[in-house]
Structure 1
Amino acid sequence: MTLRRAVACVAAIALSAGAALAQDYPTRAITMIVPYPPGGNTDLMARALQPEFSRALGQPVVIVNRGGAAGSIGTTELARARPDGYTIAMVPNNPVTAQPHLNRLQYSAETLRYICLVYDNPQVLVLGRNAPFRDYAGMVAHAKSAEEALVYGSPGQGSTQHLLMAQLLRAIGVRALHVPYQGAGPMAQAALGGQIMVFIESPTIPTNNNLPVLAVFSRERLSSFPEAPTLAEVGVPIAGASHGGLVAPDGLPDAIAAKLEAACETGVNSETFRAAAIRLAAVARYLPGAQFRERFVAESEANKGTIAALGLARE
């Protein structure tokens, strides 16, 4: 037997074995990594999807929280896992589209296998208490009145909210003073105390803290804040969300990915998941793997430029 024929035979056997495994998949419990501690938005969305997703697959889905390093620890664990369909992860955009540009990691937006987008969480521009303006136009005028006249907060340097605010400030053509916090809770308290003038966050934060919304980073106005214009309406066509979905290690067989994708579609379109998303002020939104990948890769490219402009890019 020639070397070429031997290689072809080995490849055929491997392909046949892979097809057989995919046909039987899944035969045991599936681990879903959440790269954040319990109780956060990503964890809650994962647990909302879990019952219907498990039912569609016919096997238990076990959620494992692996928090730390802005979501990159859990996402790295996912990237290192065997690509056999028994380890997947629910990840939001920041660990995939921003963190690889901030730190040297063993994955990037291009090296994960995308299963499906699960939810969108449109972001809003929130007005802090005692700010010297009352609307978006007033914020712009104040920001242009002097260098770093505008003081804004974020739930951490390099966070989705920080990068969105940086994009907005670049579009307006101003520099502002950035005050990073250790999360949305401390930042909201700072806004209530008058230490910061504006910040960007999910709709639940201004709702729970009774703070006004100046504008929304969605393509349409939000029913929860009908008076707040979209940024496109005020001449800055920027949209942004904290959105997330299921990913798997690179090398996952197509047949297994297809089964996971179908189960995900069933789960996202279920009444129980959609009701949970509404309670969490998120939007249940299914996108298949290919479109999900396009969305995150495009966002990664946009973040790369923003992070470089901020001087935060890894060396």
Structure 2
Amino acid sequence: MQRLLTLAASAVVLLGAVQTANAADYPTKAVTYIIPYNPGGESDVTARFQEGYFKDVAGQDVVIQYKPGAGGATAWAQLNGYEPDGYTIMNVNFPHAILQPSMKDVGYQTEDVKPAFVFHYTPDAILVRADSPYQTLQDLIDDAKANPGATTFSGSGTNSANHLATVRFDQMMGTKSTYIPFKGSAPSMAALLGGQVKAAMSYTTQGIKAGDQVRVLAIATEERVAAYPDVPTFKELGFDYVAGAYRGVTLPKDAPQEVRQKVSDIIGQINANPDFKKKLEENGYVVTDIPHDKVDQFIADRRAEYASAIEALKAAK
């Protein structure tokens, strides 16, 4: 028995040594990068941007695959079934990965999808048609206050970033609006352009795609963004609101810390590339640098930020 225990202990030590050696060499082959949405959305666009720089930094290709469903939950619920060797990484979004498990059983908990690096956010933005009577954010607020429930916002999905943003908008402004969910950003924008809703709770990126068909009333950033130098921030208008859809890269939770750190370092180096940063900013994204050792605090801060809106969503069910 003692000999068996000794052999078992030796095997564990040897396995640990092999894992450490593998981690030191990571990556030695192509890395699969899973996007939990359909092609063409913001998560896919930015992964494609990263793809062009990944090999320069890591020395290996990254292969993008798609696993859409349930607003990202289908993929995130399967994350920890992959080999935890770092050769499968996955896009993860917030507030989605906090909001979804808070509202119902979606097959994963927020702790299951802890990112190795959070690299940017897509700022919340309120969009109206170019011919809308709303010239300013205050025009929309005044109408929403005068006609409770009549101000309609389109958005991408239920219990999504757009849904949460609409609830937070009502809390900030003291209004009561009506949120109408659609299956993605594209149909949400189609509803706006088709006159089915008065406004869209969307992102800067969608405003850029729509061009002169829309007017952007306000953006949820600390400072004005390069893509919209003439559009005020919510903060400029007196509302302490900086928010959007944050995106990061995560690994199976049993991945060695050395590999997790390597992935963090790779994404951080891509983020630091001036050409990459310019590409993101021109397309309406805001670059963030939240590495592996700061992710826990990031998630704690987001939980606190979303708490009252999540309670309002639960109360409305």
TM-score tier after normalising by the smaller chain length: 0.7 to 0.9
What residue is the counterpart of 1:298 in the other structure?
A: 301
Secondary structure of the corresponding residue to residue 168 of structure 2: helix
Partner of 1:242: 245
Q: Is the 8 A contact 1:124 1:201 kept in 2?
A: yes
Between the aligned partners of 1:77 and 1:71, the Cα distance in structure 2 is 10
Going from structure 1 to structure 2, the CA distance change for 1:275 and 1:264 (only over 3 Å counts) comes to same
CA deviations 1:209-246 (Å, max 9, x no partner) are: 32111111111122333333222233321111222121
Distance across 2 between alignment mates of 1:230 and 1:206 = 15
Give the superposition deviation at 1:2: 11
Q: TM-score, normalised by structure 1?
A: 0.88
CA contact 2:36–2:68 (8 Å) conserved in 1 = yes
Instruction: Report the 3-state secondary structure (helix = DSSP H, G, I; strand = E; otherwise coil) of the residue aligned with 1:67.
Output: coil
Question: What CA distance in whole angstroms lies between the structure 2 residues aligned with 1:149 and 1:38?
Answer: 34
- Summarize the alignment of residues 122-161 of structure 1 with structure 2, pairs less than 5 Å apart: 122-128=123-129, 131-161=132-162
Structure 1: gaps (5+ residues): none
Secondary structure of 2:138 counterpart: helix
In structure 2, the partner of 1:114 is: 115
1:101: Cα distance to partner?
Answer: 2.0
C-alpha contact (below 8 Å) 2:162/2:202 kept by paired residues: yes
Quick one: distance in 1 between partners of 2:314 and 2:116?
33
Q: Contact 2:208/2:284 (CA < 8 Å) preserved in 1? A: no
Deviation per residue, 1:65-121 (Å, 9 max, x gap):
111111111222223212211111122224412222233133222223421122222
CA distance in 2, matches of 1:112, 1:292: 11
Q: Shift in Å at residue 298 of structure 1?
A: 2.8
Partner residue of 2:312 out of 301, 309, 313: 309
Q: Tell me if the contact between 1:215 and 1:231 (Cα under 8 Å) persists in the aligned partners.
A: yes
Q: Superposed, which structure 2 residues align to 1:151-300 within 5 Å?
A: 151-209=152-210, 210=212, 211-300=214-303
Cα–Cα, structure 1 residues 231 and 16, in superposed 2: closer, same or farther, change >3 Å? same
Aligned residues: 314
Query: SS of the residue aligned with 2:142?
Result: helix
Indicate if the aligned counterparts of 1:114 and 1:290 stay in contact, CA closer than 8 A.
no
Q: Which amino acid aligns with 1:126?
A: L
RMSD, matched Cα: 2.7
| C-alpha displacement of 1:12 | 4.1
Could you tell me which runs of 5 or more consecutive residues in structure 2 were left unpaired when the two chains were aligned.
none
More helix, by proportion: 2
Offset of residue 177 of structure 1: 1.8
Structure 1 position 3, deviation (Å) = 11
Q: CA deviation at 1:247?
A: 0.6
Contact 2:96 2:161 (C-alpha < 8 Å) held by counterparts: no
How far did 1:144 drift? 1.3
Counterpart residue number, 2:73: 72
Question: 1:4 offset after TM fit, Å?
Answer: 9.9
Tell me which stretches of 4 or more aligned residues in structure 1 moved more than 3 Å. Answer: 1-15, 128-133, 300-305
Q: Which moved more, 1:155-164 or 1:284-293?
A: 284-293
How far residue 200 of structure 1 moved from its aligned partner, in angstroms, is: 2.0
- Larger deviation: 83-92 or 226-235? 226-235
Alpha-carbon distance change, 205 to 24 in structure 1, aligned in 2, over 3 angstroms: closer
Per-residue deviation, residues 273-315 of structure 1 (Å, max 9, x unmatched): 224324432233332112234323432454354233123799x
**Alignment identity in percent?**
25
Structure 1 residues 129 and 270: CA distance shift in structure 2, 3 A:
closer
Q: Secondary structure at the match of 2:105?
A: coil
Q: For 2:155 and 2:111, locate their aligned partners in 1 and report how far apart those are by CA, in whole Å.
A: 27
Residue matched to 2:87: 86
Contact 2:73 2:107 in 1 (8 A): no
**TM-score, normalization: structure 2?**
0.87
Q: In structure 1, what is the Cα distance between the partners aligned to 2:267 and 2:209? A: 30
Task: Name the stretch that deviates more: 8-17 or 252-261.
Answer: 8-17
Return the alpha-carbon distance in structure 2 between the equivalents of residues 35 and 10 of structure 1. 37
Q: Report the alpha carbon displacement of residue 46 of structure 1 after superposing the two structures with TM.
A: 0.8
Counterpart contact for 1:118–1:284, Cα < 8 Å: yes
Structure 2 CA distance, aligned partners of 1:29 and 1:221? Answer: 38
Decide whether the 8 Å contact of 2:115 with 2:251 is kept in 1: yes
SS state at 1:101 partner: helix
**Equivalent AA in structure 2 for residue 311 of structure 1:** K
